[in-house]
Amino acid sequence: MRIHGARVFSPEGGFSVRDIGIRGDRLVPPEGACGPVINAAGCYAIPGLVDIHTHGCVRHDYSTAGPEGIGEMTAWAALNGVTALCATTLTLPEADLVRACSLLSSPAGAGCADIVGIHLEGPFVSPDKLGAQNPAHVQGPDGALFHRLQHAAGGKVKILSLAPERPGALELIGALGGEVVCSLAHTTADYETGVAAFSRGARHLTHIYNAMPPFSHRAPGVIGAALDTPWAMVELICDNIHVHPSVVRATLSMFGPDRVIFVSDSMMATGLEDGEYDLGGQAVQVRGSTARLLRDGAIAGSVTDLMGCLRTAVRVAGVPLETAVACASVNPAKAIGEFHRRGSLDPGKTADLVLLEEDLSIRQVYLRGDPIR
């Protein structure tokens, strides 16, 4: 297959009109393509998006769903331009996390986005910065528990979100080394503790600004620590609820576009109507584009998928399209060690790509070389 005439994204130079070749499930040079020629004039061609922080959608949650629910979530994600993801768990009892990790280690089904990793958001979080995490299941950092979960996942845990100020957290970060991306999250830590965590090997900040101390001129906190750590990358939820558009622009200016990762933090109500839903055993009320816990009104994840976040970043925050695409594909793929397989449209990579109309609506998704929309 040859896709002709699209404005094709490149991490190095924005967009340029050129052809894309697909053979089987791989991207190839255009001259190596065979089969039909697809006229994509007027479209943007971008890599399939990579969402490294998503809890669920269409009435299912990755922490609790069975194989059918996982299939429905990953199929819906693919249809909406997310072709790879890290299924993200919540702060839950060990037995529930072991079950989830085991189920999420299975290969993707036909027409489904690849689960390229698991993101453990908890249970090693601060009881004083829970956000929407369930206080009943918070635990102190425990390397043995992490390794039991990693074993259940078949080595598929890519990100561990934890609070670095908890006793034993810094030691755990140092011990895990390159085995997993340690991410600072749901934390009351100050700047010095954040610096210590990054010096021990942490290299990520989970949903920056949310469930952590604010970045202020006398107390920069973990945000300042991340800013001063050149290898640290930060997640940003661009749903126009979690972060103000001005702060989206400021974050990109401070960290630079190569260190910011757009994530959805989507929960089970994503793709559905207003109503009452569940998040980790807690009741959530969804109204419009906002989800809140009934117990205290805390924001309970997002009801916007990653493609919706990309559009919001461009339309509302004024982020250049090429920057938004990099933050939703290139950067997350690099963060979890997947850039050699996905995240750009270079020959040799998996043929995951999305054709967008001028208004950023989806014309077609190609998943592992097959058109699915």
195 and 267 housed in the same domain: yes
Q: Which of residues 12 and 115 earns the better pLDDT score?
A: 115
241 and 189 housed in the same domain: yes
- CATH of residue 371's domain is 2.30.40.10
22 and 109 housed in the same domain: no
Is 370 one of the catalytic residues?
Answer: no
The pTM score is 0.97
338 and 349 housed in the same domain: no
The active-site residue out of 239, 265, 305, 352 is 265
56 and 43 housed in the same domain: no
Provide the domain limits for residue 71: 49-342
Overall average pLDDT of the 218-240 stretch: 98
6 and 72 housed in the same domain: no
97 and 4 housed in the same domain: no
Residues in the chain: 373
Q: What is the pLDDT of residue 34?
A: 85
34 and 163 housed in the same domain: no
261 and 353 housed in the same domain: no
pLDDT in tens, 266-291: 999 999 999 999 998 899 999 998 99
pLDDT, mean over the chain: 96
61 and 9 housed in the same domain: no
Q: To the nearest 5 percent, what fractions of the chain are helix, strand and coil?
A: 30, 30, 45
Q: Which two tokens stand for residue 43?
A: 């479209």
Overall average pLDDT of the 124-145 stretch: 96
Number of domains in the chain: 2
Positive or negative, the CA dihedral 171, 177, 179, 184 is: positive
- CATH of residue 58's domain is 3.20.20.140
214 and 194 housed in the same domain: yes
299 and 329 housed in the same domain: yes
- Which candidate, 216, 242, 232, 215, places its Cα nearest to that of 131? 242
